[in-house]
Amino acid sequence: MSKILVTGADGQLGKCLRDASKDFDNYDFVFVNRGQLDVTNKASIDALFATETFQYCINAAAYTNVEKAESEEESAYLVNAEGAKNIAEACEEREITLIHISTDYVFDGTKRSPYVETDETHAISVYGASKLKGEEWIQEKCTRHFIMRTSWLYSQYGHNFFNSMLRFADEGRDLSITTEQLGTPTNANDLAYAALSIIASGSEAYGIYHFSNEGAATWFDFAKAIFEHTGKLEAVSLEKTDHYRTFAARPAYSVLSKEKFYNHFNTPRLDWQESLKILIDNQKSV
């Protein structure tokens, strides 16, 4: 039975991976949070890898606060770049296949058609640059790697746009949501299944892959859909704005092409609105 290590187990993707793992009962999963495995500490990694034998590692450990990264550059690079390097080196030494989660923010957003894996990268924020450096380290240090770039991740867990909008609706907020960016909201539960589908396939087609839900939206579109599907549209005053001031620059366009991924792996292909509705319906039934 293959043993799979999942880092960042307390993050939203880590929690979604834990849920998804229940449908993959022919694998042995080991979930570790930062307290159990600090990816920035080589000794911590070596100590764990010395006591366990893994066939796969899903690295979901990340510094994800795009805004704070601008003033906490060292922290962002420590986790997203050095941490990725440490994991990559450990996996290479032990012939472990690494599945690493990256981001659409490695692109500058100047393109106007979906980004493919071979498009030139040019990060315009500290967060994006730190994730890009992590990608580069993995490609240099680890032979057996799958890098999964995703976008606008949300779920029922943690701090994300979806949960923030629900909280604002409960508070009856007046909201101005930007239309400046076009991308694809992605349900982290779908990303979790996609990552596990790579393992289930047994594929050795290593490299970079894009995965998100289908379609495109602005943040305003996403917010409106959340309120419509939850029946809370009347609870908020929702307005568009074509400018929303942020510390971090964000790509104006970051829709990803998923053709390469779907040509290799068998995972349901869901439109972002369809997946959002599924998540909301599942939450209602809990």
* Beta-carbon contacts of residue 286 (< 8 Å; ≥ 6 apart): none
Computed over every residue of the chain, the mean pLDDT equals: 96
| pLDDT at residue 104 is higher than 80 | yes
According to the model, what pLDDT value does residue 156 have?
Answer: 97
Instruction: Give the mean model confidence (pLDDT) for residues 204-223.
Output: 98
Measured in degrees and rounded to the nearest 5, phi and psi for residue 258 equal -105, 10
Cα–Cα distance measured from residue 157 to residue 168, given in angstroms and rounded to the nearest whole number: 16
Judged against a pLDDT cut of 70, whether residue 286 lies above it is answered with no
pLDDT tens readout for residues 25-60: 999 999 999 999 999 999 999 999 999 999 999 999
Backbone conformation region of residue 227, classed left if phi is above 0, alpha if psi is from -120 to 50, else beta: alpha
**174: DSSP letter:** E
Catalytic residues: 127
Domains of the chain plus CATH, in order, are 3-160+185-214+256-271 (3.40.50.720)
The tens digit of pLDDT for each residue in 108-144 reads 999 999 999 999 999 999 999 999 999 999 999 999 9
Is 80 exceeded by the pLDDT of residue 285? Answer: no
pLDDT of amino acid 243 = 72
Q: Does residue 1 have a pLDDT over 70?
A: yes
Residues 44-74 as b or e (16 or more Cβ within 10 Å = b):
bbeebbeeeebbbbbbbbbbbebebbbeeee
Residue 3: CA atoms inside 13 Å, Cβ hemisphere, count? Answer: 9
